[in-house]
Structure 1
Amino acid sequence: MFSDIGALELVTLIVLAVLVFGPDKLPKVVQDVSRFIKKIREFSDSAKEDIRSELGPDFKDFEFEDLNPKTFIRKQLDGNEDLGELKELRSTFDLRKEMNEVADAVNGRESAPAAAPATAPAQVNGSAPDLLKKQDKPAAPEHPPYDSDAT
């Protein structure tokens, strides 16, 4: 129950309890606290048993700790032998590349792998450097007009 309390913290709690309750009342307080904790545990266990009995025989092995999402996922992944396929799929999926491709598609640009080669042939209507200058400047995004009444 108190596995994460160190020795110094335990000594501090004992000294504080002696100062607050006094050495005469301390044993009685410890007994009362232990009875209270025991009653809470009994109440909790009976509530769990009532819930299990209401759920029926299909849920006899149901553990309330399984309701914690981390525990549930860990148990599901531990019992699954298909983790090799999952790791293989994860290694082939590059989220940054996918997001860049989506952003390029939304912005109307070609993605990096499908872009035109750097040495483009000269066009009839213009030279290659002129075309590159035009391509370097992306079109300015058009903003909707500002409406002071709407704000």
Structure 2
Amino acid sequence: MFFDVGPLDLLTLAILTVLLFGPDKLPEIIQNVGGFLRKVRAFSDSTKEEIRSELGPEFRDFEFEDLHPKTLVRKHVLNGDGLGLDEIRSALDPRAELTQVTDAVREATDEGSRETVPPEHVSLTKDTKTGSPAHAAAFDPDAT
């Protein structure tokens, strides 16, 4: 119930309780809290039984914990009739579709490379003939 309460937190609460109520009233307070928790638990159990009786005989084995979303998915989807975890994973796995697409692209590029003429040779060196001031871009030092 209290999963994120550590031992140090419990020790701090115990020390604060002793300091607030004193060691002489502490047993009486523990009895009162225990009695209150028993009443709440009895009220909860009687309410559950009343709901089960109102739902009818077909819901006698109904558990309220089954309404939790994780429990509902585990019970009805993962362990249910016909649809399991492997089917869900395979349905959501895009690898098969991606391999089909990549194969289709590879085939298209292979066919396209066979039919096309190789491009002309392009020189990647700087042409020194166009380095004259006539071809150079105009530079205005006053421009901002």
Provide the TM-score with structure 2 as the length reference.
0.61
Quick one: distance in 1 between partners of 2:2 and 2:88? Answer: 42
Deviation at 1:75, TM superposition (A): 2.5
For the aligned residues, what is the CA RMSD?
3.3
Match of 1:117 among 103, 109, 123: 109
**Unaligned stretches of 5+ in structure 2?**
121-144
Deviation at 1:73, TM superposition (A): 2.1
Letter in structure 1 aligned against 2:15: V
Quick one: distance in 1 between partners of 2:103 and 2:10? Answer: 63
Quick one: distance in 2 between partners of 1:79 and 1:120? Answer: 53
| Cα 1:20–1:4 shift into 2, 3 Å | same
| Cα 1:94–1:4 shift into 2, 3 Å | closer
* Count of matched residue positions in the alignment of Structure 1 and Structure 2: 115
Quick one: distance in 2 between partners of 1:39 and 1:89? Answer: 44
Q: Contact (CA 8 Å) 1:121, 1:128: kept in 2 or not? A: no
| Cα 1:81–1:19 shift into 2, 3 Å | same
Letter in structure 2 aligned against 1:30: I
Provide the TM-score with structure 1 as the length reference.
0.59
Deviation at 1:12, TM superposition (A): 2.5
| 2:15 aligned with 1:15 | yes
| Cα 1:97–1:31 shift into 2, 3 Å | same
Name the % identity.
53
Could you say what secondary structure the match of 1:117 adopts?
A: helix
Larger radius of gyration: 2
Quick one: distance in 1 between partners of 2:69 and 2:5? Answer: 26
| Cα 1:100–1:33 shift into 2, 3 Å | farther
| Cα 1:61–1:96 shift into 2, 3 Å | same
| Cα 1:93–1:36 shift into 2, 3 Å | closer
